[in-house]
Structure 1
Amino acid sequence: MSTSDESHNTLTNYVAYLDSQEPPLPRIGHLNLETSTIRPLSFLSGAPLSNLYQVISLPPSQISPAGPSIPLSQTTLLPPLPSRDVLAIGKNYPEHAAEFHSSGYDSSDHVAQPTHPVIFTKRSTSIIAGGEAILPHAEFTQTLDYEGEIGVIIGKPGFRVKEEDAMEYVWGYTIINDVTARERQRDHKQFFLGKSADTFCPMGPIAVPAYALPKTLRVQTHVNGSLRQDSTTANLIFSIPYLIATLSLAQTLQPGDVIATGTPFGVGFGQSPHTFLQPGDTVEISVTGLGTLKNTVAATSAKNKTLDTISTLSNQLFPVSNLEKSAGGKGLMTINSKPLYYRKTGSTSANAQSILFIHGLGGSSECWTPFVDEMELEKKYVLHFLDLEGHGLSPTSAASVVSIQSYASDVAALIEMKGLQNCVIIAYGMGCLVALSAMDEVDTKTSFSPADIEGRKIVLLDSPPQTTPLPDEMRKDLLARAETARKGGMAAVVDLLIPPERKRKGHLAKTLERISLLGMDAEGVHGARWLGGGIHSNPDRDVCSDWGKPVCFSGGWN
């Protein structure tokens, strides 16, 4: 990294947080420790930074402030680097090694000061942010202890790094509280189990590049305001370069790996008598230039939120298509447990009739705009628009199996949510099947008197397939288009449906049609076409006559 890069960026107190938008999104900013405000940061392109791994991989000159500062109190603090196990070092300060050896909890060695680094890991599931509660795990330990430590953050891949070159691999530093269950550490004769319980690795509040900090760092730990630990990196038994060289002897260190370098003298079992953490105790660890990591021990009845966190992360394993069109989900509504795009417009009169519009496969609610404007419907009616899953602004998950019935269930859920049982439904294309199936589902769940639904009408602006399964030729065509979308993207779909050489009377109309299709999500189109080609249920059912309620057809929409 060049000196000019280092001097370019002074916003180096990198903090990970959830913003206050809905839904909240992970962001990276600069935390002003004096004013407790966060300055959001972005790539030079303006795209927001969302995790510290991105920051580590960028030259400082490629990071830019983005917008005004926001109060820390309006955000949710996140740990800087939560995704990997922490590489940790035990017994790395002489006085602590001695107090540990004489405490009765050391089963790791027969001598006080180790001849080689004592290396263990802390599970990534133990990592929490500053301000989060440390669970006491009363059924697991009665010897809950703190360990204030300096965390080294690796900045580039390293294998068999020479000790004299090791500092070139250090990106920066953060603070770690190596919370420990002492009897578990003793009884299992190794450190992993006693140090990896959920919430046992508070980290943060910030991460700072090495170039912005002095070479020697001081760590201090206070418990309930009382100073317990105070030392510097100059007192380490095994220096940071030595640790990096040792750890990389046979394994590759990755950018974003964190090494907890060990704790000084003064932990709970070093007090006389032994003084372990209790619910309500507050631990504050301060390090030169890194602020203060503050966490309080929770009540024994406190809920363990780790399961919820893991469940959320598990849901994020599946690719979600079409989400970026809504800037990560902003403006979406949860309908039938899915984030979908819905909007309401038109008359504000309490007596106005509602109209619900349902578009066809590959379309979106925007296709109704010319129709609504030409008919001036907004003056007389309350208008409801929904983008079906994977269409328009509505995302779709790779784990979601879309079908006519799934679309219908989403529409039925919207009808129930908004009280639209008595509305007019206008649909076209495959949306006609969705509309009919949705009202079937609504009526199956709830019994209505004739007076309750006297205003209900369904207007189909296209003739839906009269039987299912679809005719073979139609099914084959839909399946072929689905594969075209998956393999060639929307440009291939557009060229298939609207070849550039096709003669049209209106060049503007052709261009607008191509632009509209190019704006669609390829995965959403694939799912829609695939489901259309895969309708197999209810053989030989006449979907309109079997529905048993009045339907108005108006041909020629497409």
Structure 2
Amino acid sequence: MRLATIRQNQTTSAARIETENTAVLIPGFKDLGELLTDANWRNIAKDASGQLIEFEKTDLAPLVPNPRKIICVGLNYANHIREMGRDLPKYPTLFVKFAEALTGPYDDIEVPAYGAEALDWEGELAVVIGKTARRVKSSEAKDYIAGYAVMNDYTQRDLQYRTLQWHQGKSLEKSAGFGPWLTTTDSFTFGGELATYVGEDKVQSTPTNDLVFKPEDLVEYISHIYPLVPGDIIITGTPGGVGHASDPKRYIQDGETVRVSIEGLGEIANKTVIV
């Protein structure tokens, strides 16, 4: 099953995706995040018989527009860790992103000129929490995951490396395309390709099972620090092929579109507009 948040008539609605451009609206829920707060969300979504609509790609809003928490994982793909000259970690590296950083999966990303000098791409798989998880075991963690989606995690490398804390280079307003829809856990298998394109150039290509810490591991680790609640997002890290690690370094330029696709989850694409 695929679920989304769709813009319609100056508002939004949770929806069940039927085809690439049709969906059934789920009455009573303004977005997917609100739907997930209902313990019966799966059956509500499955049984929804609301209005069937056609939509354009740009009608897709950020999948969960206002999550309580966005937890990011740094250096979690083995090949990216190696290209950055580091050893495989014993524990996940965590930092946070704020909800204001999210934007639609096909929205333009406007970047102020002062923040565009070292703009990098990071295609990532996102985990969306489906029920409250507190101190859960990895063997049970899948039951707490609603599903998976695609994240286009623009990163300002110059800001990121000003200090030892990465957050300031990772949460630029409306810089993270998120979607296109949630694919529930029963409809997705790990191991397919995660690929990122800048323009026509394929810059990242890695199987999703190259993760050092799998989603279940991350749910266990994080939920022993603080509870995860429905709609919370874990961004699982990016694979090798980032521009900052290239020789010579390459950064995103004005007008370039960054496209991220994950086999089984779909793709998103955001055009960069430097203002």
Task: Report sequence identity in percent.
Answer: 27
Determine the C-alpha separation between the residues in 2 that align with 1:246 and 1:48: 34
Alpha-carbon distance, 1:59 to partner: 4.1
CA deviation profile, 1:348-402 (whole Å, cap 9, x unmatched): xxxxxxxxxxxxxxxxxxxxxxxxxxxxxxxxxxxxxxxxxxxxxxxxxxxxxxx
Determine the C-alpha separation between the residues in 2 that align with 1:293 and 1:141: 21
Greater RCO, CA 8 A, separation 6+: 2
**Matched position secondary structure for 1:279:** coil
Is 1:17 the counterpart of 2:6? The answer is yes
Determine the C-alpha separation between the residues in 1 that align with 2:261 and 2:220: 27
- 2:42 equivalent in structure 1: 60
Question: For residues 23-422 of structure 1, what are the structure 2 equivalents within 5 Å?
Answer: 24-32=10-18, 36-42=20-26, 47-56=27-36, 57=38, 58-63=40-45, 64-72=48-56, 76-84=59-67, 85-101=69-85, 111-298=86-273, 300-301=274-275
* Counterpart code for 2:106: G
CA deviation profile, 1:150-178 (whole Å, cap 9, x unmatched): 00111111111112111111110111111
Runs of at least 5 residues in structure 2 that lack an aligned partner in the other structure: none
Determine the C-alpha separation between the residues in 2 that align with 1:292 and 1:137: 25
Alpha-carbon distance, 1:179 to partner: 1.0
CA deviation profile, 1:165-214 (whole Å, cap 9, x unmatched): 11111110111111111121111112100001112221111111111112
Runs of at least 5 residues in structure 1 that lack an aligned partner in the other structure: 1-11, 102-110, 302-558
**Matched position secondary structure for 2:161:** helix
Determine the C-alpha separation between the residues in 2 that align with 1:140 and 1:49: 36
Determine the C-alpha separation between the residues in 2 that align with 1:86 and 1:234: 22
Rg larger in structure: 1
Question: Runs of 4 or more off by more than 6 Å in structure 1?
Answer: none
Determine the C-alpha separation between the residues in 1 that align with 2:186 and 2:34: 18
Determine the C-alpha separation between the residues in 2 that align with 1:30 and 1:155: 16
CA deviation profile, 1:100-159 (whole Å, cap 9, x unmatched): 23xxxxxxxxx4432211100111111101121222332134110010000011111111
| TM-score, length-scaled by structure 1 | 0.46
Distance change (3 Å), C-alpha of 1:282 and 1:193: same
* Counterpart code for 1:79: P
* Counterpart code for 1:82: P
Contact kept in structure 2, 1:130 and 1:293, CA below 8 Å: yes
Contact kept in structure 2, 1:39 and 1:65, CA below 8 Å: no
Contact kept in structure 2, 1:41 and 1:48, CA below 8 Å: no
Determine the C-alpha separation between the residues in 2 that align with 1:52 and 1:87: 18
Distance change (3 Å), C-alpha of 1:32 and 1:278: farther
Determine the C-alpha separation between the residues in 2 that align with 1:78 and 1:278: 24
Determine the C-alpha separation between the residues in 2 that align with 1:259 and 1:131: 21
Contact kept in structure 2, 1:88 and 1:122, CA below 8 Å: yes
Distance change (3 Å), C-alpha of 1:210 and 1:217: farther
Determine the C-alpha separation between the residues in 1 that align with 2:2 and 2:56: 13
Alpha-carbon distance, 1:220 to partner: 1.0
**Matched position secondary structure for 2:83:** helix
**Matched position secondary structure for 2:261:** strand
Determine the C-alpha separation between the residues in 2 that align with 1:32 and 1:291: 14
Alpha-carbon distance, 1:233 to partner: 2.7
Alpha-carbon distance, 1:278 to partner: 0.5
**Matched position secondary structure for 2:140:** helix
Determine the C-alpha separation between the residues in 2 that align with 1:195 and 1:68: 37
Contact kept in structure 2, 1:154 and 1:169, CA below 8 Å: yes
Determine the C-alpha separation between the residues in 1 that align with 2:41 and 2:161: 44
CA deviation profile, 1:320-362 (whole Å, cap 9, x unmatched): xxxxxxxxxxxxxxxxxxxxxxxxxxxxxxxxxxxxxxxxxxx
Say which structure is richer in strand.
Answer: 2
Determine the C-alpha separation between the residues in 2 that align with 1:168 and 1:13: 17
Distance change (3 Å), C-alpha of 1:139 and 1:119: same
Determine the C-alpha separation between the residues in 1 that align with 2:60 and 2:44: 24
Aligned residue pairs, count: 270
Distance change (3 Å), C-alpha of 1:227 and 1:90: same
Determine the C-alpha separation between the residues in 2 that align with 1:158 and 1:92: 22
Contact kept in structure 1, 2:62 and 2:177, CA below 8 Å: yes
Alpha-carbon distance, 1:62 to partner: 2.5
**Matched position secondary structure for 2:151:** strand
**Matched position secondary structure for 1:80:** coil
Alpha-carbon distance, 1:289 to partner: 2.2
* Counterpart code for 2:16: H
CA deviation profile, 1:235-284 (whole Å, cap 9, x unmatched): 11112221111101131110111100000001112333211001111111
Determine the C-alpha separation between the residues in 1 that align with 2:55 and 2:135: 43
| TM-score, length-scaled by structure 2 | 0.91
Contact kept in structure 1, 2:190 and 2:209, CA below 8 Å: no
Contact kept in structure 1, 2:192 and 2:262, CA below 8 Å: yes
C-alpha RMSD over aligned residues: 1.8
Greater shift in the superposed pair: 60-69 or 175-184? 60-69
Determine the C-alpha separation between the residues in 2 that align with 1:250 and 1:86: 14
